[in-house]
Structure 1
């Protein structure tokens, strides 16, 4: 049970990091294209839908604790008790958690802006052509988001040993 919860929460944390990437990096490239703002809105809508679906499944899994007594009851109850908190966390209502990554984000964005001058350029080739050091800073920033969220989820669910 703990492994399933952990994998779901890591998936949600990665979706949050992907959203941050879209907001900070992908959006300026999309805005230069025809219908780019609509594409961007659609991307964010899909991310939100994926988060809501995953949260719905977690809630259903936790709800089974009330219906079937097992050794995992306390863990499921703990998850069920915290599901509202997780919904707030993964729908952006707790920006202070991701704010812990502000420095790494700014380090990356500063180098990214110096490297990438033309937002009209091809997005994929631009990202592929980033210098290794800039790319590493981007990875550090995004991993920081996932790790900051993971740290908070461990605190919210102590009995699951995530």
Structure 2
């Protein structure tokens, strides 16, 4: 064990951190121990902690089931990260990851979101209470839906989001639910049955149930539908890479996904910021905003690659610099009257009920959530309409 690790372990022990076997722990030279709480934190054998931006709140448990590597992650109170590799991700209060996790940049687990063992995530955003089973690969997705711990969106075990194409592109993000309604925590949950898959980019409405064993390939924006496919027919035909017959749908879905991320960024900046407290301190708020910015840039980059490949094989003509400039210069905050009125409702609710995020949001009246949804949807509509018109692609 390195001398620097010994010194930092001693100082953390003095703060109150509990190490089950300190001789097996490694703490990087760049880790700021002032960003690690000493209140109720337990770190088990074989854990390695790196990154100057790492932040660990109170009552966090690390590596209980197997050794854990954590690098530049921000971890909220009562989170339980049981083993695996976690890098550049955010875990809010009561979030949990099972053994064998492989979580990378751009990932956010909001309050009470959870994953069982052997789950891979990258550029994945899970809203409160969303639950993933075991043996899942679910990168490049945003999933919302559900109202609480007994009524949550869920993905069954052995599920995969297909996010890479034979044409070597990743313009494949899938939107399960959406941001304007999903953040209100009042929508029907989504269920993706185990031993199945979703082919991105795909959009699904709230209340969707996809039967176990199904690989789903289409958008379904109607709510409360049961989806199932039959056996796949045998196919043996000539194939030429680069030919994309559904590129307009792919472009639309990517733009709508990016617009939802921008709306979520607005939510974090204007609404989440009102809940800063001991259980949601400034470092977590900052990390949310940073990760959502990373997610937006990732999706723009992947869409750019897709555009240039499309222009090689179709008659699509596009000035990408103009599109990119639109994203970079975007400062629209939504309808100011709706925004200010909704923020006022949130402020009043905090005064009455305290600053617990879930309590306040779930306690809003229907007319108040409708106001907030209208504000956020207005942001999405403006972005998508402007870009789709420029591309002469009809908005959906």
TM exceeding 0.5: yes
Aligned pair count reads 149
| Structure with greater proportional helix content | 1
Q: Judging by fraction of residues, say which structure has more strand.
A: 2
Quote the residue 1:46 is aligned against. Answer: 291
TM-score normalised by structure 2 residue count = 0.35
Q: Is the 8 A contact 2:263 2:376 kept in 1?
A: yes
Alignment correspondent of 2:394:
161
| Structure-2 residue corresponding to 1:140 | 374
Change in CA separation of 1:85 and 1:118 when aligned onto 2, cut-off 3 Å: farther
- Structure 1 Cα separation of the partners of residues 334 and 387 of structure 2: 15
RMSD of the alignment, in Å?
Answer: 2.1
4+ aligned runs moved over 4 Å, structure 1: none
Offset of residue 34 of structure 1: 6.0
Larger radius of gyration: 2
Is 1:94 matched up with 2:309?
no
Mapped contact 1:32–1:120 kept (Cα < 8 A): no
Secondary structure of 2:290's partner? helix
Question: Is the 1:19–1:44 contact (alpha carbons within 8 Å) kept by the matching residues of 2?
Answer: yes
Q: What is the alpha-carbon distance in structure 2 between the residues aligned to residue 136 and residue 35 of structure 1?
A: 25
Q: Distance in 2 between matches of 1:45 and 1:116?
A: 25
Distance 1:8 1:18, change over 3 A: same
Any gaps of 5 or more consecutive residues in structure 1? none
1:6 pairs, out of 252, 271, 280, with: 252
> What is the TM-score when the length of structure 1 is the normalising length?
0.81
> CA offset at residue 134 of structure 1?
1.0
CA distance 1:89–1:32, shift in 2 (3 Å): farther
Contact kept in structure 1, 2:263 and 2:380, CA below 8 Å: yes
CA change 1:132–1:113 in 2 (3 A) is: same
Say whether the 8 Å CA contact 2:350–2:360 is kept in structure 1. yes
